[in-house]
């Protein structure tokens, strides 16, 4: 068996994504020692206890010393300060990568600060849950999910290849993309849905208390799926919207036009228009299922679970144990 892809990985940020990457990389023998970095003692202690890192520090410069891979796994708003702090301590030939959900801002904030002889391979695993912190991490998070790499033109191809090996070794599929293109695609697939969820749940939160209690009681009507998304980390999402402003505003404009069209159709009783739209959206859902990107956000749970006894019988499955959580969505 060949050795690890990286001898020492410095993880700046050991929350959901950093912890999951470390657990997956260690499980598959892709990294040697892992050194963690987080601001709070509580996070660092948990990360060590859970085996996410062998040792940890609050000082990013100390964490990256002698590392051949530095993986930045904090909210993107912290990147500029972290890049400045680690730059003087980076070893020649080291690779700096990240997992941030926005890529142009990453390149803007980190790229110019790195010294010559250090390779920069920005990345984004398109996988996650609404949970945060080291204890939320699990090694299976990236299985059958895409990781997008956005190396700036001229990046050392061997550095890109090593980062690719890390992610594929963790079960991910890897695609390279221009950073601007990444930000436009993710504005649609991730940032807009989160903005909509935050809005719907805020609207409900502003209802008067009696109505609000009914919303919680009957949330299985669809609202509960939005509450899961809207429970995502506020700092992380603040930073995403502030750092992908143009692409989010562009897609939000299109969304507003489409919702106005639906509003008009409802007002004027245009059933054919509504039916046509809803048929198209159902087809898109089918494509997502076919692409194995549907089902639970947690790959440890089944991908797409037949939900009714008849569907289970057709799929040749026994009835689930009492207490087994049902499929997500209503
Ligand atoms: P998280 O669970 O909240 O963890 C964030 C980690 O960063 C914590 O260990 C935190 O330590 C540390 N941290 C925050 N600010 C720091 C600073 N200035 N210096 C050093 N450490 C700092 O966050 P996450 O969900 O893993 O997200 C991390 C990154 O992954 C974000 O850039 C996000 O855009 C990206 N991402 C997230 C998801 C998702 O679904 N969550 C999916 C794909 C990509 P303390 O606890 O000590 O503050």
Residue of 37, 45, 58, 73 best suited for mutating to test ligand 1, as the one with most atoms within 8 Å of CB = 73
Beta strands in the chain (DSSP E): 6-12, 31-37, 55-57, 69-72, 95-98, 119-121, 123-125, 146-149, 173-176
Measured in Å, residue 12 CA sits from the centre of ligand 1 at 9
pLDDT tens digits for range 160-205: 999 999 999 999 999 999 999 999 999 999 999 999 999 999 999 9
Task: Identify the DSSP state of 135.
Answer: G
**Residue pair 94/65 in contact by the 8 Å Cβ criterion:** no
Q: List the structure tokens of 158.
A: 């061997």
**Residue pair 89/65 in contact by the 8 Å Cβ criterion:** yes
Handedness of CA 9, 15, 21, 24 (dihedral sign): positive
Decide whether any atom of ligand 1 lies within 6 Å of the 38 Cβ.
yes
Residue of 15, 50, 59 best suited for mutating to test ligand 1, as the one with most atoms within 8 Å of CB = 15
Question: What stretch(es) of the chain map to CATH 1.10.3660.10?
Answer: 182-314
Task: Report the distance separating Cα 143 and Cα 168, nearest Å.
Answer: 9
Q: How many CB atoms lie within 10 A of CB 244?
A: 24
Picking from 62, 84, 70, the residue whose alpha carbon sits closest to that of residue 21 is 70
HSE-up (13 A, CA, CB side) for residue 27 = 16
Decide whether any atom of ligand 1 lies within 6 Å of the 113 Cβ.
no
How confident is the model at residue 72, as a pLDDT?
Answer: 98
Strand 123-125 to 146-149 pairing: antiparallel
Decide whether any atom of ligand 1 lies within 6 Å of the 238 Cβ.
no
CATH class of the domain comprising 182-314: mainly alpha
How confident is the model at residue 1, as a pLDDT?
Answer: 53
Task: Report the distance separating Cα 53 and Cα 73, nearest Å.
Answer: 14
Task: Identify the DSSP state of 88.
Answer: G
How confident is the model at residue 329, as a pLDDT?
Answer: 28
Task: Report the distance separating Cα 179 and Cα 141, nearest Å.
Answer: 23
Three-class DSSP category at 20: helix
Where the chain has pLDDT below 50, the residues are 304-306, 319-330
Question: What stretch(es) of the chain map to CATH 3.40.50.720?
Answer: 7-177
Ligand 1: nearest atom to the Cα of 42: 47
For the domain 7-177, what is the CATH code? 3.40.50.720
What number of helices (H) and strands (E) belong to the chain?
A: 14, 9
Measured in Å, residue 117 CA sits from the centre of ligand 1 at 27
């Amino acid at each position: 068996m060949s050795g690890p892809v990286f001898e020492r990985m410095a993880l700046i940020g050991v929350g959901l994504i950093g912890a999951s990457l470390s657990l997956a990389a260690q499980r598959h023998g892709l990294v040697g020692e892992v050194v963690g970095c987080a601001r709070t003692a509580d996070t660092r202690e948990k990360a060590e206890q859970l085996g996410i890192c062998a040792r940890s520090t609050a000082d990013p410069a100390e964490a990256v010393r002698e590392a051949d891979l530095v993986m930045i796994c904090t909210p993107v708003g912290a990147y500029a300060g972290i890049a400045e702090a680690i730059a003087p301590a980076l070893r020649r030939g080291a690779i700096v990568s990240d997992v941030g959900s926005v890529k142009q801002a990453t390149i803007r904030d980190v790229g110019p600060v790195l010294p010559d002889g250090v390779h920069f391979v920005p990345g984004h695993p398109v996988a996650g849950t609404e949970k945060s912190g080291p204890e939320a991490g699990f090694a299976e998070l990236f299985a059958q999910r895409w990781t997008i790499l956005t190396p700036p033109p001229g990046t050392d191809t061997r550095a890109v290849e090593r980062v690719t090996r890390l992610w594929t070794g963790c079960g991910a599929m890897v695609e390279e993309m221009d950073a601007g293109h990444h930000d436009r695609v993710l504005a649609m697939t991730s940032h807009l849905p989160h903005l909509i969820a935050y809005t719907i749940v805020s609207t409900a939160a502003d209802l008067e208390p009696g109505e609000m209690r009914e919303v919680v009681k009957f949330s299985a009507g669809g609202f509960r799926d939005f509450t899961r998304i809207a429970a995502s980390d506020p700092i992380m999402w603040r930073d995403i919207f502030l750092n992908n402003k143009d692409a989010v505003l562009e897609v939000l404009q299109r969304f507003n036009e489409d919702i106005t069209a639906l509003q008009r159709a409802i007002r004027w009783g245009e059933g054919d228009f509504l039916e046509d739209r809803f048929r198209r959206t159902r087809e898109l859902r089918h494509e997502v299922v076919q692409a194995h990107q549907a089902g639970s956000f947690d790959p440890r749970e089944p991908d797409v679970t037949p939900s009714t006894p008849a569907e289970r019988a057709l799929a040749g499955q026994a009835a689930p144990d009492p207490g087994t959580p049902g499929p997500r969505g209503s």
